[in-house]
Structure 1
Amino acid sequence: MNAPEPVPDEGDEAATRAAFFEAFGGVRGMVETTVPGLIFVLSYTINRSINVSAVLALSLSAVLALARLVRRDTAKHAFGGVFGVAFGAVFAMMSGDAKNFYLPGMLYTLGLGVAYVVTSLAGVPLLGLVLGPVFRENLSWRTRNPGRKVAYTKASYVWGGILLAKSAITFPIYFWGDATQLGWLRVALGIPPFLLAVYLTWIILVKAPPPIDVIAEWEEREEREKREKEARAQGTGSAPAAPAPAPAPEAAGPGAGPPV
């Protein structure tokens, strides 16, 4: 009889929720990736100046990153947004085309969507690589937790599908629309697809087997080996040495030899 799948408890759900916030930056991360683009398109709509709009967006992104550093938040979230906005700002100013402010982010979205799909097809879903260390399971889901691997694969396909659909909508506007249309479309497609992907991933993972905490296993094994080593050291120092065994009598007859 097959054993029933473990039912996730409230602790598992809390861990899943915390993992999402740590891996993706949470609500604050969504705001930080959306607001600079909003400032750029709003400024450009008003003054039609690429340089002014790019500098405003980059300055705001730098302020948000500095606020994260002051609060001692994760550095990757602090600098990731700045680099993305900086690439877009420089590209737009050098090319003289305001639409190019959004091109680095669009290429990143397209590449990430392809990566989610390709890694899922290869049996190493990208979402498992991202969330595995956060859940303290590392890569144990690949060989020890097949149900969880299936969940990561499904969720990675969800992310890939949503990101590729987003790219399919924005790239035609990049080629045949104007900068204002593209800017407002990018703002509109910023947070809702992300929330949809997170929600669907949540639904998939909370129904999956709980993660195997390989970090706790490693710590427990280290502690056990340490206790065994201390016990052996204490036994060697206090117990008298065992007498040497008497030599065994010589066996008679052909084929006799030492015990195996």
Structure 2
Amino acid sequence: MTTTGRQDSTRPDDETTGPLPIVGTPGRAGVGGRAGAPKDPAEMTMLDHMGGPMGFVYSAIPVAVFVTANAFLSLSLTIGIAVGSGLALFGYRLLRGERFAQAVGSLLGVVLAAALVAITGSARDFFAIGIWVSLAGFVFTVATLVARRPITGVLWNLFHGGTHDWRADRPSLRAHDIATMGAALVLGSRFVVQQWLYITESTTGLGIARVLMGTPLSVVSVILIVWAFRRSTKRLIPAGR
């Protein structure tokens, strides 16, 4: 009788200790947003397509090389050095294990810009393609805002399977409005400033503007986009998925 009583008295303790390991599982910790929580796959995909944090730095190097060389050397030598820097970066990124598509993108940009300079004979045309790309991006992002389909929200939904009614959730839609507007302002400011410098034929000024309005403003835009992505994920993706 005494033995049976002891066995019965220990059962509640055994039952309560059983589920304890579940509390510490990595999946549940990640859902709570604690340190070490897994990142949103959509966020990682977006950053990956942008070349990662170093992608902004890589894009600024050929510009700095071109402007510096143009200040001291002939235009033909400047073109060759700029293309050479692009090739060197391309090889370096491949050696670091980056994908070919990412590494070749920056090289193509340098080659196209250098080719335009070779055709026109004007050093300022090294920046012409980037100026008009900024204008096209500004018009496109503003158009998505006017259509009430901010592009960052469209991309977030696409990366998550395209099945979420994110526009019906006002906080998510507002977040993507802000992120897309931020991107539009970055692109628009780049076009206005650099187009003015292009008209005044200030090649050095164009180079400085490209660098100063490149990585710093891109970082601000990415912060807003990541914030909007995380807000949408928190509100619309079930916990644990």
TM-score by length of 1: 0.69
Listed as ranges, the matches of 1:71-220 within 5 Å are 71-134=96-159, 136-138=160-162, 140-142=164-166, 147-210=171-234
Residue 21 of structure 1 deviates from its aligned partner by: 2.6
Cα distance change of structure 1 residues 130 and 194 upon mapping to structure 2, 3 Å threshold? same
Any gaps of 5 or more consecutive residues in structure 2? Answer: 1-30
* Matched residue type, 1:38: A
> In 2, are the aligned partners of 1:116 and 1:127 still within 8 Å (CA)?
no
- RMSD of Structure 2 on Structure 1 (CA): 3.0
1:157-209 CA-to-partner distances (Å, cap 9, x unmatched) read 11011210121111111001421222222222211111111123334443445
Cα–Cα, structure 1 residues 139 and 149, in superposed 2: closer, same or farther, change >3 Å?
farther
Partner of 1:22: 48
Preserved CA contact (<8 Å) 1:12 1:210: no
Distance 1:13 1:179, change over 3 A: same
Bigger radius of gyration: 1
Give the 3 Å change call, closer, same or farther, for CA 20–146 of structure 1 in structure 2: same
| 1:8–1:114 distance in 2 versus 1, CA, 3 Å | farther
What residue ranges of structure 1 are gaps of 5+ in the alignment? 1-6, 218-260
Query: Structure 1 residues 197 and 12, CA, compared in 2 at 3 Å: closer, same or farther?
Result: farther
CA contact 2:172–2:231 (8 Å) conserved in 1: no
Contact 2:178 2:224 in 1 (8 A): no
Between the aligned partners of 2:156 and 2:89, the Cα distance in structure 1 is 25
Is 1:31 the equivalent of 2:57? yes
- Deviations along 1:200-236, whole A, 9 cap, x unmatched? 333444344537569x99xxxxxxxxxxxxxxxxxxx
Aligned residue in 2 for 1:55: 80
8 Å Cα contact 1:8/1:210 also seen in 2 = no
Q: Pick closer, same or farther for the CA change 1:209–1:18 going to 2, 3 Å.
A: closer
Assess if the C-alpha contact under 8 Å between 1:33 and 1:81 holds in 2. yes
8 Å Cα contact 1:119-1:126 kept in structure 2: yes
- CA offset at residue 22 of structure 1? 1.5
Cα deviation, residue 20, structure 1: 4.6
Provide the secondary structure at the position in 2 that maps to 1:173: helix
Q: 8 Å contact 1:23–1:130 — kept in the other structure?
A: no
Q: CA deviation at 1:128?
A: 3.0
Deviates more, 1:169-178 or 1:199-208: 199-208
Compared with structure 1, are the counterparts of its residues 67 and 24 closer, same or farther at alpha carbon in structure 2 (3 Å cutoff)? same
CA distance in 2, matches of 1:133, 1:65: 29
More helix by share: 2
Identity of aligned residues (%): 21
CA contact (8 A) 1:148 1:211 kept: yes
1:123 offset after TM fit, Å?
Answer: 2.7
